[in-house]
Amino acid sequence: MNQKSGTFEPEKFEDHYETALIDLINQKRAGKTIRPKERPKGETPSI
């Protein structure tokens, strides 16, 4: 736990999921065709 303790500074935090979701929404609004990204070999989709 000591390794993960520290002060959290929200202004330095970047939510990569939120950024990708906003990008996807903007692409759909622009009428672009959305295609799933290629998965790296050896990675199986979760069910």
Q: Assign 15 a pLDDT band (cuts: 50, 70, 90).
A: confident
Please give the Cα distance from 41 to 5 (Å, whole number): 35
> For the CA atoms of the chain, what is the radius of gyration?
17
CB 28 within 8 A of CB 34: yes
Q: Assign 45 a pLDDT band (cuts: 50, 70, 90).
A: low
Residue 27 CB contacts under 8 Å (≥ 6 apart), including other chains: 34
Is this prediction's pTM over 0.75?
no
Longest CA span, the chain: 48
